[in-house]
Amino acid sequence: MPSRPTELLNVAAIRADFPLLGHEVYPGVPLVYLDNAATSQKPLAVIDAVNHYYRRVNANIHRGIHALAERATEGYENARRKVARFIGSGSTREIIFVRNATEGVNLVAQSWGRANIEPGDEIILTEMEHHSNLVPWQLLAHEKKAIIRYVPLDGDRCLDTGQYDALLSGRTKLVAFTGMSNVLGSISPVKEMVAKAHAAGAVALVDAAQSVPHMPTNVVDLDVDFMVFSGHKMCGPTGIGVLYGKEALLEAMPPFLAGGDMIRRVTLEGADWNDLPWKFEAGTPNTAAAIGLGAAIDYLGAIGMDRIEAHEHAIADYALEALGELRGLRTLGPPAPQRGATIAFTIEGMHPHDVAELLNRDGIAVRAGHHCAMPLHQALGIVATTRASFYLYNSTDEVDALATALHKAQKLFRVG
């Protein structure tokens, strides 16, 4: 086993905040949860915030004048203020609550995209995008007869920035890329890529589903035009996500979904839109989940995103070294520090689903498959991978448990 890094976070104390982590998966088999890129576990503070909302507050927001309606509205709008602060936005008008990162991308594609993309325009994506930041643009490009260009990977399995430079031109209208790959763990040079997009006259969207939960983020410093992420990957509830957009862009965009709350005045002939951010929030929202996300932000903020990032870098280093000792195991991402703690790998002679199944018997939760990034796997020339993804509550002991279980699985398959 490699030498252990100094513990940068008090993992034992953090784990005590997450009730689910203390449970056994099967009798006598403790849980080793390494599927954080899919979704994170929730601390008591978040569970309690949602519980308290339904026990003591529950009402529809922006509509009632009774006490509960006012408290629910205040809780929801307070969560929006927390999100704005967390990502460095100066205005709550720039924070749109959506269901998840996927809905955020679709909102931009359908609203900004349909209003701004013309036949022959070019959209630059990358080969390592999650389907959520790929298919909405393919639909738009098909409808508008626009052209999609893809940034390939370089030898380190990071984005090939030279190729990116070559793809940018006066025809580029939009650049949309992931802040961190959900398979390779590669961290994109967001600030540089956004600056280059702007220099070419294009708008830049960052899919931050895998980056916002794991590192400090400042939208003003990055100068992104749009950014999307999901609450459930950052200790918050499912059913809530965020679209950040620069106010001037959002202001000029037509609504995405229409209905209650997104209008100011409706007649039988037509309607006027509500102010930002509510113009993009039609219908009754997931108030409890927004409040839960606010609690998650408080929780992560109290620990410190810079400390969480440093802890995960240390875990990634340790895990890469520990897994590297297993014969026939190939990890797929770049070396540290260009990567986060999401590690996909293949094992010679074993199918990724068999690997995941055997790990599960030892209580280790990982994901196997294409991870909603089929074009990336095609580019890598493989069908599927097994993926272990770590978060603030994961320890080096759990890395050891993973390595030991993998070795056991290899022995069962007589490989390695």
If one asks whether residue 101 binds ligand C6P (CB under 6 A), the answer comes out as: yes
Residues for the chain: how many in total?
A: 416
Q: What would the x/- binding string for ligand C6P be over residues 111 to 140, using CB under 6 A?
A: -------------------x-xx-------
If one asks whether residue 315 binds ligand C6P (CB under 6 A), the answer comes out as: no
Across the strands, what pairs with 271? 266
Binds ligand C6P (CB under 6 A): choice among 187, 209, 344, 406: 209
If one asks whether residue 339 binds ligand C6P (CB under 6 A), the answer comes out as: no
If one asks whether residue 212 binds ligand C6P (CB under 6 A), the answer comes out as: no
Q: What would the x/- binding string for ligand C6P be over residues 7 to 46, using CB under 6 A?
A: ------------------------------xx--------
Structure tokens at 17: 């905040």
Residues 6+ apart with CB under 8 A from 412: 358
Q: Which is nearer to ligand C6P, 132 or 396 (CB)?
A: 132
Q: Which of 166, 162, 164, 163 is nearest to 176 (CA)?
A: 164
Catalytic residue chosen out of the listed positions 372, 376, 388, 409:
372
Q: Is 372 a catalytic residue?
A: yes
If one asks whether residue 286 binds ligand C6P (CB under 6 A), the answer comes out as: no
Task: State the pairing for strand pair 364-365/32-33.
Answer: parallel
Query: How many residues touch ligand C6P (CB under 6 A)?
Result: 17
Q: Write the DSSP string, 88-139.
A: T-S-GGGEEEESSHHHHHHHHIIIIIHHH--TT-EEEEETT--GGGTHHHHH
If one asks whether residue 100 binds ligand C6P (CB under 6 A), the answer comes out as: yes
96 by Cβ neighbours in 10 Å (0-12 / 13-18 / 19+) ranks as: buried
Q: How far is the CB of 112 from ligand C6P (least distance, A)?
A: 18
Residues 6+ apart with CB under 8 A from 161: 154, 189, 192, 193
In 198-284 the beta strands, taken as DSSP E runs, fall at 203-207, 226-230, 241-245, 263-266, 271-273
Binds ligand C6P (CB under 6 A): choice among 141, 372, 376, 405: 372
Task: State the pairing for strand pair 172-178/122-126.
Answer: parallel
Q: How far is the CB of 188 from ligand C6P (least distance, A)?
A: 11
Amino acid making up residue 360: N
Interacting positions 213-252 with ligand C6P (CB under 6 A): 230
Q: How far is the CB of 205 from ligand C6P (least distance, A)?
A: 11
| Residue in the structure block whose two tokens are 């389907």 | 131
Residues that bind ligand C6P (CB under 6 A): 37-38, 100-102, 130, 132-133, 178, 182, 207, 209-210, 230, 367, 371-372
Q: Which residues are catalytic?
A: 372
